[in-house]
A = this chain, B = another copy of it.
Amino acid sequence: MSTSTGQREGRSQADRSRETRRKLMQATVECLVERGWAGTTTTVVAERAGVSRGAQLHHFRTRGELVAAAVEHLGAESVLDLKERARQVNGSTLAVVELIADFYASDLFTAALELWVAARTDPELKTVVVPLEVRLGRETHRLAVELLNADEAKPGVRETVQLTLDLVRGLALANQLTDDGKRRSRIIRHWARMLEDSL
């Protein structure tokens, strides 16, 4: 009996810890999107998450650590979400390119952009962000290959997949200050046709 209670307590403590982490990461992403890097201080995030400063420090020692973990967490969730959506659409090239473009034109991109730009002029933050950029980049590439059903053994196909990702990154950037949705759809349809001929 006592062992079983102990296990239950252990589990629920682990659950609470995970829940605290999740709340902190979610509040961080919301802050990045609403207020940008400058407005995303550990104090603001702890308050928004309803978590004590002590508990926050237990999970994340620095602002950089917290923000990088939040973006990585959102990245992993977004990848799962994208895979789930991909299962639900017809497999047309246009539908897949639209999905990938939507994956970029999202809070994930906005939050990551705040982080990338801040890291450029902050050497300490940069040491956290560069490996994260590499991991997210690899994961996204792998995902695009899978969704487009691309055979990278064929010459030029690897470049075409990368080009797709560079293009949707550029489109996502153009969508930051104003709603570029109409133009974006036109470019995506155009690229989907070129991509179909090319793959």
Tell whether, in the assembled complex, residue B160 and residue A190 are in contact, meaning their CB atoms are under 8 Å apart: yes
* Copies per assembly: 2
Assess whether A1 is interfacial by the CB under 8 Å rule.
no
Assess whether A139 is interfacial by the CB under 8 Å rule.
no
- Once the chains are docked, how many angstroms separate the CA of A196 from the CA of B163? 16
- Once the chains are docked, how many angstroms separate the CA of A159 from the CA of B185? 11
Within 8 Å CB of A159, what residues of B? 186-187, 190
Q: Count residues of chain A with CB under 8 A from any CB of chain B.
A: 44
Known interface pairs A113-B117, A117-B114, A120-B36. Does A166 touch B178 (Cβ–Cβ under 8 Å)? no
Assess whether A67 is interfacial by the CB under 8 Å rule.
no
Known interface pairs A36-B121, A113-B117, A178-B130. Does A187 touch B163 (Cβ–Cβ under 8 Å)? yes
Q: A38-B121, A160-B190 provided; 9 other pairs, C-beta below 8 A? A: A39-B121, A117-B117, A120-B176, A126-B177, A129-B177, A156-B190, A162-B183, A163-B191, A167-B170
